[in-house]
Amino acid sequence: MKRFIRSLRDGLPLFKAMASDTRIAILELLMKEGPMRMTAIAESLQITGGAITSHVKMLNEAGLLKIEQRGGKHGIQKVCSATVPAITIDVKDDGQA
């Protein structure tokens, strides 16, 4: 998957998602380890369940990871996978003032 950003405004969701050390750490962890449960990500990065939820939501909305619900021993588990696309940013002619 490739993503071309031709205006700064179009890239805003991506820029916001990438503007956090924690979200970068989540992506790096998933790229290294493969799919992980949200609770395992939180434990690995030593952050709370509430914090992981908001970070994962933003990364998902930006198209940088996907969330799957899977049945497990203790109910439904959310498993995250990195889907980081190739990203090209070319805003020199975006027409913005």
Catalogue the long-range contacts made by 11-17 (C-beta closer than 8 Å, 24 or more residues apart). 11/89, 11/91, 13/61, 13/62, 14/62, 14/63, 14/64, 14/87, 16/58, 16/62, 17/58, 17/59, 17/61, 17/62, 17/64
Give the least confident one: 17-26, 68-77, 79-88: 68-77
Structural domains in the chain, CATH included, are 2-89 (1.10.10.10)
Give percent of the chain above pLDDT 90.
Answer: 60
Q: What is the pTM of this model?
A: 0.83
Q: Using pLDDT thresholds of 50, 70 and 90, give the confidence band for residue 54.
A: very high
Give me the mean pLDDT over the 46-72 stretch: 93
